[in-house]
Amino acid sequence: MSERISLLAAERAEEWLLKPGVYFMQGNIAAAEAALIAGCRFFAGYPITPSNEIAEHMARRLPQVGGYFIQFEDEIASINAIIGAAYGGVKSMTATSGPGFSLMQEAIGLAAMIEAPIVIIDVQRAGPSTGIPTLVGQGDIMQAKWGSHGDYEIVAYLPNSVQEMFDLTIEAFNTAWEYRVPVVVLSDQTVGHMIEKLRVPPLEEIRIVERRKPEVPPEEYLPFDSRYLVPPMAVAGEGYRFHVTALTHDDRGYPSTRHEVSEKLVTRLVRKIRENEKVIGRYESIMVDDADLVVVAYGITSRSALKAVREARREGLKVGLFRPITAWPFPYWGLREAVDRGASILVVEINMGQMVHVVREYYANITEIHSMPWAPGEVPRPHVILRKIKEVYPR
Amino acid sequence: MSGLRLGLRTEPIKSLLRLERFPHIWCPGCGIGTVVKCYIEAVLDSGIPIEKHVVVSGIGCTSRAPGYIKLDGFHVIHGRAIPFAVGLKTVRQDLEVTVIAGDGDILAIGGNHFLHAARRNDDINVIIVNNFIYGMTGGQYGPTTTPGSITTTSPYGFIEGAFNIPYLAAVLGANFVARWTPLHTKELTAAIMEMFKVDGFAVIEVVSPCLIYGEMNNLPPLEIMKAFRDRTVIDHEADLSKIDIDLRDPRKPIVLGNFVRRSRPSYQTLARELIKKARGGG
């Protein structure tokens, strides 16, 4: 083509971003606006309920900030396209729900392997399979971590409000570009569709992480330099002329079948997240300090669980709420003190028991761990959770 | 064609090879190496700065090409080179993005992406090295295998139909469609250079021998090469519906040419205009 433009039409982008202030906004739309503020300039997706508002909003808003929106032929194309865009140096994302998230798994492994920073918003719905597209579920917890083959690490956030759809989407971009890792915002149908208060802070108060660029000349650049946990990232067209492959590769990015190369690479892909788990991992503890029973709940379930916990307190039971804000890394250390004090745990989630396995991994032999499995389709009401609290409350 | 400066080149082809990775994995007599050479020649002669050329591939023998080419290169997962390339090109329209992959990668597992990239008219170049077989995995039939062929997964004969790639690409709306062989290096290089200039989806099928598994198609290695010499006909105006390939029928010509030249604006060009419209600037 004759007309070659150097980069995106980035000029005048800021004037189109959401202004600071207080809004009454839907969760999905808050996530889309947050992505724009985080610097997202490419969205690729495929229609799927209950995530559609994100794509629809991005289709309207991205061109205004000089970005691009493509509705692809499927979720597989969508996620591969955002990985390509990320290697063009542009912050990129997709949004989907269970079936689409399943289709994306192979490419999530690709992004982990070639250390492409991408953001995926998964608005979870009732499964398995097509399930109930319009109703809530939390069945993607394990898939988010273990869905692709081989060993790798991802990061997943668990928003429980419209405010967190906004805040954690920005944080998801920051984490993706800080660690060169795929990051999932594991939302759910209810948080995605609910409309509530959103406070947008002034832009200068929002932390935005940008790509760490290589500082060496091209002949010295190693795209997967194992002297770093997270190597600086060159992108296409900068003159580095680097090679990237999804095959097991050495520091130069060249394929290798040598065991030492495999061990070095896979270990680093895992270490870069595990060694930073306490920097990345987040949780919220409410009334946990003196609790005899700690309810573990996340996403929309945590809001019902909090009401149940408060009700239990009114009835004289020492119950607290532990809310993981990251599913992965799982913030196990946040439960340590309560468990050491002898508190029991009750995990409430809209699935047949997923996060409870992780809690057991850390605390099974130390304290009693109960599960309240809840078939996808609705949020368990506070009185149902309260009944379970009373049933398992230590005597 | 204009811009073609073969013979005046100052940069040797080796300057764009990752020689430290040699010997390469391709079998002696394979056509893929020749395609790589033609691509590199076209890149060097394109007039586009070398650092702006990007090569993307999927999985298979052909898809190993970026691993030997000293450009920004991406060897991604099976069938997904096109969507990766589309994402990259859309956000970085200063780049000249070329996909080099095989018939199985592009047209079987990646068939849906080929279809829609052609329909959208994405401004990328796709070089399909068609050897009628899955070579890397051991001679299984693919979407271009000639009906009747014996392969490792059609021991009693292949009973499906085969894609006619130029016809398919033309029907889907590609802006540039060509077919050449590794014996036609001058024409192939010129066609690749023309691809770089096309604003839109550009496809070249390179009909290429797989010497290891060709024999299973009842065509011994030398016969394939002879067929490329004796049975090829250059006809730029050919009726594309009639140019399917049957390597086993000695009377059937292999029709080559630059068949389609359209100027439908690319998706990326229209997307840039959309930005102006969305901002109220017309």
The CATH number for B264's domain is 3.40.50.970
Give the list of residues 6+ apart from residue B137 with CB closer than 8 angstroms, or none: none
Measure the CA–CA gap between B125 and B129, rounded to whole angstroms. 13
Q: Residues of B with CB below 8 A from A106's CB?
A: 77
Among candidate residues B270, B263, B266, the one with its CA nearest the CA of residue B123:
B266
Residue B9 lies in a domain: no
- Asked if the model's pLDDT at residue A31 lies above 60, the reply is yes
Q: Residues of A with CB below 8 A from B113's CB?
A: 73, 77
Q: What is the pLDDT of residue B215?
A: 67
Q: Shortest Cα distance from B39 to chain A (angstroms)?
A: 16
- Asked if the model's pLDDT at residue A151 lies above 70, the reply is yes
pLDDT, average across residues A166-180: 98
Interface of A with B in 16-55 (CB under 8 A): 16, 41-42, 44
Q: In CATH terms, is domain A14-205 a member of 3.40.50.970?
A: yes
Q: What is the pLDDT of residue A4?
A: 40
> How high is the ipTM of this complex?
0.96
Residue B216 lies in a domain: yes
Distances (CA, A) of B186 to A19, B39, B191, B192, B235: 58, 11, 9, 10, 16
Is the full-model pTM beyond 0.90?
A: yes
**Among A81, A242, A244, whose Cβ lies nearest the Cβ of B86?**
A81
Least confident of A12-21, A189-198, B212-221: B212-221
Residue B249 lies in a domain: yes
Q: Shortest Cα distance from A106 to chain B (angstroms)?
A: 8
- Give the percent of chain A with pLDDT over 70: 97
Q: What is the pLDDT of residue B7?
A: 52
Measure the CA–CA gap between A244 and A88, rounded to whole angstroms. 13
- Give the percent of chain A with pLDDT over 90: 96
Residue B204 lies in a domain: yes
Q: Residues of B with CB below 8 A from A89's CB?
A: 91-92
Measure the CA–CA gap between A266 and A159, rounded to whole angstroms. 29
What sections of chain A are H helices per DSSP?
A: 27-38, 52-61, 75-86, 98-103, 105-113, 141-146, 162-179, 189-193, 259-274, 277-280, 300-314, 336-340, 355-363, 382-392
CB pairs under 8 A between A and B: 159
Would the CB atoms of A60 and B50 count as touching at under 8 Å?
no
Domain chopping of chain A, boundaries: 14-205, 285-392
Residue B80 lies in a domain: yes
Q: What is the pLDDT of residue A292?
A: 98
Q: Shortest Cα distance from B165 to chain A (angstroms)?
A: 20
Would the CB atoms of B87 and A88 count as touching at under 8 Å?
yes
Q: What is the pLDDT of residue B2?
A: 41
Would the CB atoms of A243 and B92 count as touching at under 8 Å?
no
**Among B83, B86, B94, whose Cβ lies nearest the Cβ of A4?**
B94
Please give the residue of chain B at the shortest CA–CA distance from A83: B84
Please give the residue of chain A at the shortest CA–CA distance from B271: A68
Q: What is the mean pLDDT of chain A?
A: 96
Residue B30 lies in a domain: yes
Tell me the pLDDT tens digit for each residue of A238-258.
999 999 999 999 999 999 999
pLDDT, average across residues A299-322: 98
pLDDT, average across residues A89-112: 98
Q: Shortest Cα distance from A345 to chain B (angstroms)?
A: 42
pLDDT, average across residues A128-157: 98
Among candidate residues A17, A98, A45, A230, the one with its CA nearest the CA of residue B87:
A45
If one counts every other C-beta atom within 10 angstroms of the C-beta of residue B189, the result is: 23
Does the beta carbon of A81 lie under 8 angstroms from any beta carbon of chain B? yes
Tell me the pLDDT tens digit for each residue of B25-73.
999 889 999 999 999 999 999 999 999 999 999 999 999 999 999 999 9
pLDDT tens for chain B, 282 residues: list them: 444 445 556 578 999 999 999 999 999 889 999 999 999 999 999 999 999 999 999 999 999 999 999 999 999 999 999 999 999 999 999 999 999 999 999 999 999 999 999 999 999 999 999 999 999 999 999 999 999 999 999 999 999 999 999 999 999 999 999 999 999 999 999 999 999 999 999 999 999 999 888 766 667 777 888 889 999 999 999 999 999 998 888 899 999 999 999 999 999 999 999 999 998 865
**Among B52, B54, B84, whose Cβ lies nearest the Cβ of A81?**
B84
**Amino acid symbol at B282:** G
Q: Residues of A with CB below 8 A from B82's CB?
A: 77
**Pick among 3.30.565.60, 3.30.110.60, 3.40.50.920, 3.40.50.300: CATH of A285-392:** 3.40.50.920
Q: What is the dihedral of CA A91, B174, B161, B140, to 10 degrees?
A: -40
What sections of chain B are H helices per DSSP?
A: 32-45, 81-91, 103, 111-120, 165-172, 185-197, 221-230, 267-278
- Asked if the model's pLDDT at residue A7 lies above 70, the reply is no
Q: Residues of B with CB below 8 A from A84's CB?
A: 56, 74, 83-89
**Among B87, B112, B274, whose Cβ lies nearest the Cβ of A42?**
B87
Would the CB atoms of A81 and B90 count as touching at under 8 Å?
yes
Q: What is the pLDDT of residue B224?
A: 82
Would the CB atoms of B91 and A241 count as touching at under 8 Å?
no
State the total domains in chain B.
Answer: 1
Residue B18 lies in a domain: no
Q: Shortest Cα distance from B271 to chain A (angstroms)?
A: 7
**What's the half-sphere exposure (Cβ side, CA atoms, 13 Å) at B151?**
26
Interface of A with B in 225-264 (CB under 8 A): 236-247, 254-255
Measure the CA–CA gap between B135 and A13, rounded to whole angstroms. 49
The tokens for B225 are 């090469």
Residue A5 near residue A42 (C-beta atoms within 8 A): no
- Asked if the model's pLDDT at residue A74 lies above 70, the reply is yes
Question: What is the span of the domain harbouring residue B153?
Answer: 24-278
Residue B74 lies in a domain: yes
Measure the CA–CA gap between B85 and A2, rounded to whole angstroms. 19
